[in-house]
A = this chain, B = another copy of it.
Amino acid sequence: MTLMVQKYGGTSVANVEKIHHVARRVIRAKEAGNELVVVASAMAGETDRLIQLAHSASDDPMPREFDSLVSTGEQITVSLLAMVLNKLGHKAKSYLGYQVKVLTDGDYKKARILKIETSQIKEDLKKGYIVVVAGFQGVDKKNNINTLGRGGSDTSAVALAAALEADVCEIYTDVDGVYTTDPAIYDRARRMKKVSYDEMLEMASAGAKVLHPRSVELAKKYGVPVYVKSSFNDEGGTLVTKEDKDMEKEVVSGVTYDRDQAKITVIHVPDRPGVAARLFTPLSDENIPVDMIIQNASIEGYTDLTFTVSRKDIKQVRKLLEESGKDVGASGLQFDENIAKISIIGVGMRSHAGVASKMFATLAKEGINILMISTSEIKISCAIEAKYTELAVRVLHDAFGLEQER
């Protein structure tokens, strides 16, 4: 028998009617002879409502209480889904993080899963139950509720699939797969039938919102095949899986963009050891991720340091840098929130030369100035002025011929 983990996001379970729809899809898979473990998110809007409630109680809600509060969203969905499955004639049982149990590391609001106990779930599956598990939540070793951060239910699903050694993990969402770029921006975007873990990871980190990066990391680590499908129709789907020969033939698989970027320049800092550490340590201490970093050539012992952060962190970054910038003798700070990051991704880059220059030339031809560049083995990212985002996506998609099925 095939063991299948299915995950349904907030829009798929937005109300009781949609939960019925999900239940029927689950039952179809069960009746096709699969064992079913279903992970569900909070009903669309519910998590936002709970977060708002927390902020009306306190400007700075305690993380422990915040997690206990917002985790009720998934608790509501899973009990409703179990009720509906039961009503439709199928034995079902819902589990919360502590009931499974999903052991997490105690880092509130962005915890990592350490271990998942599977004995209870396996026992229920053997008895013919459909097991419904609350996504997004776990408990630390002192039984405090931890949440996994936004999109954490994807991670719950993949981690469960790994722990249960499931044959497949299906992620149901409101799009029918992973596209070469955002179809909302470019109508020539093409759904990929298959994408490698590494490409998916880079795409997720570079702004594609289909899967949570942590879930892709886990899927890669444990070799879990992940299907991204639409919960609203039966067409399409994208398989996220191990790299194969076919994938390498494509130089570039996708173009992504990320508008949630801000650029900061620390002007005229002394070019000597320890300066970068002095500037960036306060940011990492506050868990603020820094993305692209460039340093100008040094002139007369001085240089400028430019980097990007998520736009939401900009206030805090400004505060921290005003202090550390003074310490290192910088002459000033420059902030630019009108930027975007455009990335091209593909495992084929490893074996194909000239990809970067083709990207730069394509952007240059449209008069798009490149503000910063960063590269990884299978990704090239450029920071550009935000107003060129859509244009850049379209011309790069065309330049690398992504609309063609290969």
Chain A interface (Cβ < 8 Å from any Cβ of B): 16, 19, 50, 53-54, 56-62, 64-66, 68-69, 71-72, 75-76, 78-80, 82-84, 86-87, 93-94, 96, 98-99, 143-145
Contact = CB atoms under 8 A, between A and B. Distances in A.
A82 B62 contact: yes
Contact of A76 (B50, B56, B82, B99): B50
Interface of A (DSSP majority class): helix
A53 B50 CA distance: 17
B83 A54 contact: yes
Nearest to A23: B57
B99 A57 contact: no
A88 to B, nearest CB: 9
A93 B72 contact: no
B86 A58 contact: yes
Contacts of A86: 58, 62, 65
Contact of A87 (B58, B69, B83, B84): B58
A16 B49 CA distance: 13
Contact of A57 (B60, B65, B72, B84): B84
B16 A87 contact: no
13 contacts: A54-B80, A57-B87, A58-B86, A58-B87, A59-B87, A60-B87, A62-B82, A65-B86, A65-B94, A68-B78, A75-B75, A98-B98, A99-B143
A58 B76 contact: no
B83 A143 contact: no
A143 B57 contact: no
A359 B273 CA distance: 96
Residue of A58, A65, A87 with most partner-chain B CB within 10 A: A65
Nearest to A56: B16
B87 A79 contact: no
A303 to B, nearest CB: 44
A65 B82 contact: yes
Contact of A53 (B54, B62, B80, B143): B80
Contacts of A93: 64
A58 B83 contact: yes
Contacts of A58: 83-84, 86-87
B62 A69 contact: no
A175 to B, nearest CB: 27
A58 B62 CA distance: 36
A71 to B, nearest CB: 8
B98 A80 contact: no
A79 B96 CA distance: 17
Contacts of A19: 57
Nearest to A54: B83
A54 to B, nearest CB: 6
A68 B54 contact: no
Given A61-B83, A64-B93, 7 more contacts: A16-B57, A57-B83, A59-B87, A65-B94, A69-B75, A69-B79, A99-B143
Contact of A98 (B62, B84, B143): B143
B83 A76 contact: no
A95 B145 CA distance: 10
Contacts of A57: 16, 19, 80, 83-84, 87
Contact of A83 (B62, B75, B145): B62
A69 B78 CA distance: 8
Which of A75, A82, A84, A96: most chain B CB closer than 10 A?
A: A82
A28 to B, nearest CB: 19
A138 to B, nearest CB: 14
A403 to B, nearest CB: 43
A269 B88 CA distance: 43
A53 B76 contact: yes
Contacts of A69: 75-76, 79-80, 83
